[in-house]
Amino acid sequence: MTTTAQAFKFGDDINTDYIISGKYKFKSNDMKEMAHHAMEELDPNYYERVSAQGGFLVAGTNFGCGSSREQAPLVLIHSNTKAVLAQSFARIFYRNAINTGLPLVECDTSRINEGDALEVDLEGGIVNNKTTGEQITFAPLPPVMATLLADGGLAAHFNKNGGFAL
């Protein structure tokens, strides 16, 4: 699966409260509504900037740290974030993202800039920075995780196959 979109750049240690503030956690179960608040603590216009055309959220180290909040990857999905590219991910966020169908790419993001046009090949393990011409390689996801993502996440995979078909 290859996807092309613009980079929306953030820094290190982006915790789940930055992705979706805890003040919204119990206000709604409607992820489309909550997506309007994605990343608003760091960029109040993130939803407006990414929702129309889609985008890649690009970060540094330890993305998704903090509390185990399944809403975090879900609001990114519903904001039209195509994938998150980061140098490293918090383990619980990583599993929640795969389980909900949000693609993650662990790679060197230090030379990706805000607004760069990126092409991400999840199976091939390549990020092509169309703005700079640079190519960044990464380890593709294991086949089990790739299958879950292709099916739209763990629940969608289970429903599609009447159980686990990994």
Confidence grade of residue 93 (pLDDT, cut at 50, 70, 90): very high
pLDDT band at residue 24 under the 50/70/90 scheme: confident
Strand 117-121 and strand 104-106: pairing? Answer: unpaired
Mean pLDDT to the nearest integer, 14-25: 90
pTM listed for this prediction: 0.93
Kindly report the backbone phi and psi dihedral angles of residue 105, in degrees, each rounded to the nearest multiple of 5, phi listed first.
-130, 120
> With 80 as the cut, is the pLDDT of residue 166 above it?
no
Q: Which two tokens stand for residue 47?
A: 């939803």
- Taking only the tens place, the pLDDT of each residue in 97-149 is 999 999 999 999 999 999 999 999 999 999 999 999 999 999 998 888 888 88
Q: Residue 143, SS3? A: helix
55 pLDDT higher than 90: yes
pLDDT at 70: 86
DSSP for 50-99 reads: HHTT-EEEE--SSBTBSS--THHHHHHHHTTEEEEEES-B-HHHHHHHHH
* pLDDT given for residue 31 in this prediction: 86
CATH architecture of 2-161: Alpha-Beta Barrel (3.20)
- 106 beta partners: 86
